[in-house]
Amino acid sequence: MKTHIGKEKWNRAAALYVRMQVFVMERGIPLKEEFDLEDHDETIYVVIYDGERPVATGRYKQIDSDTIRPGRIAVLKEYRKKGLGEVVVKELEALGKKLGCTTSVIHGELSAVGFYEKLGYTKESDVYYEDGVPCVTLNKELV
């Protein structure tokens, strides 16, 4: 397995492939809700590859000078429970720290709260719906 962080077109295509498989095909989220204005030429993606096959991804967004918002974390079904989601989140956090950020805010699906709590995030909101999916906001200080 290898991890690549970047905004190259081929890496973006790989990230979008994983998200298409997980969110659209597997979970039934409509295309126009999954792929939004945050997916553009300057967006940075973390993608984990098994050989040439993209198997996990996450999208980097810096929302202000101190805060990042990792998003669209996805792992192909047959690669889950192998720690790849954790690798993606930690790579996004490391990039934020490298760029001077001190806080990470995630809009996490309710079903993934335990995963994020194990990574040091704390729940900061009540349940709300994003793209028809129940979510909560979670925060973590990047130290």
Domains of the chain plus CATH, in order, are 2-141 (3.40.630.30)
Asked whether the predicted pLDDT for residue 25 surpasses 90, the reply is yes
- DSSP for the chain reads -EEEEE--HHHHHHHHHHHIIIIIIIT---HHHHS-TT-STT-EEEEEEETTEEEEEEEE-B-SSSEE--EEEEE-GGGTTSSHHHHHHHHHHHHHHHTT--EEEEEEEGGGHHHHHHTT-EE-S--EEETTEEEEEEEEE--
pLDDT of residue 133 exceeding 90, the answer is no
pLDDT for 132 equals 82
- Please state the separation of Cα 62 from the chain's center in Å: 13
Is the pTM higher than 0.75? The answer reads yes
